[in-house]
Structure 1
């Protein structure tokens, strides 16, 4: 895929995120592999930064085996987080314009140190993390009908839409893999666990450090990392009231409009 085609697709996906007008899947006909998909995702990030947005960190998707199986993925997928897509506490989340919006319950890592090495471990992540917090990620596709392939998912910033980060704590559980979570959406209750996030959310962040290094980047001090969903992604709609309880970290609430 030529650079001008990559840029054109990035422009269309970014505009879809602003206007809510989805992109026809035929626009991805030339998108053949993950290298091209990450090039499109990187171009959308550059367009956002050029328009005055600020990069605040990264999100990790497909951190459970069933999620990877659904896209025939050999490893998780990565997207970027923008300041303009982080909701202030108490602000409701708008879902108009998102295709099949879903909520994910996550543990957000706030880094106090960079993680530049080629062999970052979960223990390195724990040492570099200044705080963690319960968090919501709202995901939704900019493709009409949703992503039909892994490259389409990645090109669309791994369905990133909005994030909401709860109260931070500096006390990190030694074994985040055993962390239990409960999501309530109206009358529905969905259970989850840190084991769904590559066995331990800290392991997911360690994987991310290596992935970024391969692409010439790295995790920096101050970065926020959404480490992957503890609960299965759950459909939401305007009018829903979301409550998540994450063991040891507390709760986070969010209204959907």
Structure 2
């Protein structure tokens, strides 16, 4: 007689969190996507999902991966619709996630990559006050530049809920920063238009207003959220704003180029996935 799975609510919290963390860790290590973790955490338990993310972050830091900042996810309604969620989330960025514009990315470093264009902020001041507002968030920005985030899910088939993606470090994979940096100053990021091409063909378009109404508003949301979690944003942190338009699946061998009016361009190219070549021995 087959026994029924134990309901998540009857398993001690820390045990559930470690089970979910272990599942995601195994997917990364084995290079094989795993089933969703919402069955372990509860379909709407976002607090549990962030607890798993913190466990994974601590383990990564313990393995000497260096934290460099944060990413905001699910800020675009278009991306929320693509993934079936209705609120933003956040994750952390490690130094080894960065890739250079002039170096092709190996698809083998990823599982199910998709790509989106974003605004990147480099903070020049802490954002740790209890009365944070939009003006404070803007004044804390030292530099702003275009970025591409290569999002990736450890969950098979991108079958994710908000709980799955939060636990999975907001589905973060890699990122590429553009070369041109400038002060935020009086720039109006809401009015900036974005177009992303794949091998010269436009595959995604959007505006700054698609990112929670204003990428700086997304930064403010993150600053308040990070402070609530006890890890406020600090000077020197890199922050990715979230998508300005729909994300698209990555095709090995292709080159993606995003142009954000007023900020400049950023390019990410991918090596051909040689493992799929039928003519290889």
TM-score by length of 1: 0.92
Give CA deviations for 1:148-172 in whole Å, capped at 9, x if unaligned: 3110111111110001111242332
- Counterpart among 240, 247, 250 of residue 261 in structure 2: 247
Separation in 2 of the partners of 1:244 and 1:145?
26
Structure 2 gaps of 5+ residues are 1-11, 272-281
The equivalent position to 1:21 in structure 2, one of 7, 18, 32, is: 32
Q: 1:21, 1:97 within 8 Å by CA — same for their partners in 2? A: no
1:205 aligns with 2:215: no
Which residue pairs with 2:17 in the alignment?
6
Say yes or no: does 1:223 pair with 2:237: yes
User: How far has the Cα of 1:11 moved from its partner?
Assistant: 3.0
The C-alpha deviation readout for 1:184-230, integer Å capped at 9, x for no partner, is 11243022110110111011000111111111120001100000111
**Unaligned stretches of 5+ in structure 1?**
none
The CA RMSD over aligned residues, in Å, is: 1.8
Matched residue, 1:31: 41
Q: Give 2:154's aligned residue.
A: 142
Q: Does 1:163 find its partner at 2:189?
A: no
Q: Deviations over 1:37-89 (max 9, x none)?
A: 0011111111110101011111111112344455343x310111111111134
Alpha-carbon distance in structure 1 between the residues aligned to 2:230 and 2:51: 13
1:106 corresponds to which residue?
A: 118
1:120-199 pair list within 5 angstroms: 120-172=132-184, 173-189=186-202, 190-199=204-213
- For 1:107-166, what per-residue CA distance to the aligned partner results, in whole angstroms no more than 9, with x for missing partners? 100001100022322221221111011100001210112233110111111110001111
Contact 1:22 1:142 in 2 (8 A): yes
Distance in 1 between residues matched to 2:130 and 2:38, nearest whole Å: 33
**Number of corresponding residues:** 255
Highest Rg: 1 or 2? Answer: 2
Matches for 1:49-60 after TM superposition, within 5 Å:
49-60=61-72
Distance 1:240 1:146 in 2: 21
Mapped to 2, the partners of 1:164 and 1:244 lie a distance apart of 11
